Amino acid sequence: MLNDSQARTVLADAELLFAADEVQHAVRRVAQAINATLADQHPLLLSVMGGAVVFTGQLLPMLDFPLDFDYLHVSRYGNDKRGGELHWKVAPRENVTGRVVLVVDDILDEGETMHAIKQRVMELGAAKFYSAVFADKNIGKSKPVHADFIGMELPNRFVFGYGMDIHGAWRNLPAIYAVKEH
Q: Which CATH number is 26's domain given?
A: 3.40.50.2020
**Does a structural domain hold residue 180?**
no
For the chain, report the end-to-end CA distance as a whole number of angstroms: 22
Range of the domain at 31: 19-167
Q: Please, which residues have CB within 8 angstroms of residue 165's CB and are 6 or more apart in sequence?
A: 51, 171
Say if CB 102 and CB 43 are below 8 A apart.
Answer: yes
Confirm whether pTM is higher than 0.75.
yes
What domain count does the chain have?
A: 1
Q: Is 136 a catalytic residue?
A: no
Q: pLDDT of the chain along its 182 residues, tens only?
A: 899 999 999 999 999 999 999 999 999 999 999 999 999 999 999 999 988 999 999 999 999 999 999 999 987 654 445 555 777 888 777 689 999 999 999 999 999 989 999 999 999 999 999 999 999 999 999 999 999 999 999 999 999 999 999 999 999 999 999 998 76
- Answer for the pair 178, 165: CB distance below 8 angstroms, yes or no: no
Catalytic residue among 13, 21, 64, 109: 109
1 domain-assigned: no
Q: Please indicate, yes or no, if residue 163 is contained in any of the structural domains.
A: yes
3-state SS class at 154: strand
Q: Assess if residue 179 is contained within a domain.
A: no
